[in-house]
Amino acid sequence: MKPTTAKKPAAEVLKDDSMLKQKAMMAAHYERLSSAPETGAKVCSTFVPGNLNELIMCFDLVNNLPEVNAIQSGLRKQSGGYIMEAERAGHSEDVCTYVKSDIGMMMKGNIGPNGKELPKPDVLLLSYTGCFTFLKWFELLREQYKCPTIFMQTPYMADGKITKNMIDYMVKQFKEDVIPTLEQVSGVKFDIDRLRQYLAESAKAEDDLVHVLQSAKNKPSPIDAYFGGIYYIGPIFGAFRGTEDATEYYKFLREEVDQRVKLGLGPVTPDGPMAEEKYRLVVEGPPNYTSFRQFWKMFYEEGATVVASSYTKVGGTYDLGFRHDPSKPLESLAEYCLNVYTNRSLPMRIEMLSNYINEYEADGLLINSIKSCNSFSAGQLLIMREVEKRTGKPAAFIETDLVDPRYFSAANVKNRLESYFQMVEQKRSGKGIAA
């Protein structure tokens, strides 16, 4: 008989109090969602960019976000199996891995992160904001669930301006299609004063979120605005925006971050407080979720903090000035949808990232190109070269995927990061950018 060796216990992942609070909020949401068949609550499936959570709540609907379900599956190392299941059913390798993870999860019983089956939606609501994949994704869900589907067209911000015609076009859709259908599905009459109340709560939370994100202008930054930012944006980008719970969370988060600034502390990492801040980066593109902790570790072990990122604006560009406004409720919802990052043109994205590098005194731009995400990946090489030219700071390119573990090569990513940090050092020393 072979001797058995005791398995070494995994190191405990350290989180600050706001991260623990956010985790508890998400767990409570999934419990509410999975118990909908017992409570009689009706479910609305929608997406994060341009989601209309305040409006959804006016009809007592529970919000279900398919891409958040895929993220949760990725973090739990389950998405790889779901993706393979979807591919065996005929979905291409080139299809967005969020979609395949979601479809595969449905095929395997639709079990949510709390280990319970997620309910079928009563309505699908797509406020289209620049990602064409969402259209095809909802076509697949509509075939599966045979429920009412609302498609709200958001005009693309091609020239970088919001016009009155754009707002009027969207408000017309709210009045003639979205609201009547939600009334019919839910059996609840629309109350615009209730919407105003939710929008007022949203604005409070948005103020505090922007304060937290802009705290990264301090040296050292008290937050990591990419990896840590994933925790911070969860409640406001998902099912909590417009609630008192969200207002309370962002007030709590703001106080926590202000205390870190006061003490001159850097961000909390999974392995404890970050030591010296050597590099300040701006990052474009989503993170990899199947190896999230390992990916983050490659940064903080080098002393690299992300001080601003485009991904944490995918559910709203609040730091550019937008706030939900209860004095013009439907117009405000329209403006929100128009402003999200995925609805912004390449020139707008280039300007945003260039400004971030200057305002946050970053050392350069890093692009994480996602194999299966055309909404982010299209044009990223142009973005990289333009931002580099405008700011004079070095830019670099790495490649991973959202939730497909087959497309995360730790060795390759680590090598490219190390090369990039060498470029930053050369630039600092006045030797220019390495070829």
Residues 369-383: tens digit of each pLDDT: 997 888 888 889 999
Q: pLDDT digit string (tens) for 14-38?
A: 778 898 999 999 999 999 999 999 9
Decide: 240 and 30 in contact? Cβ < 8 Å. Answer: no
Structural domain contains residue 4: no
What band does 11 get if pLDDT is binned at 50, 70 and 90?
low
In the predicted model, what is the mean pLDDT of residues 355-384? Answer: 92
Share of the chain above pLDDT 70, in %: 96
Q: Residue 158 has what pLDDT?
A: 87
Structural domain contains residue 5: no
Q: Which residues make beta-bridge pairs with 43?
A: 62
The domain of 400 spans: 17-428
Question: Per the confidence metrics, is the pTM higher than 0.75?
Answer: yes
Domain count, the chain: 1
Q: Residue 131 has what pLDDT?
A: 81
Mean pLDDT of the chain: 92
What band does 1 get if pLDDT is binned at 50, 70 and 90?
very low
Structural domain contains residue 322: yes
Structural domain contains residue 435: no
Q: Residue 432 has what pLDDT?
A: 57
Structural domain contains residue 434: no
Q: Residue 12 has what pLDDT?
A: 65
Structural domain contains residue 1: no
In the predicted model, what is the mean pLDDT of residues 71-80? Answer: 95
What band does 431 get if pLDDT is binned at 50, 70 and 90?
low
Q: Which residues make beta-bridge pairs with 308?
A: 282
What band does 5 get if pLDDT is binned at 50, 70 and 90?
very low
Structural domain contains residue 413: yes
Structural domain contains residue 375: yes
178 pLDDT more than 60? yes
In the predicted model, what is the mean pLDDT of residues 325-335? Answer: 98
Q: Residue 172 has what pLDDT?
A: 98
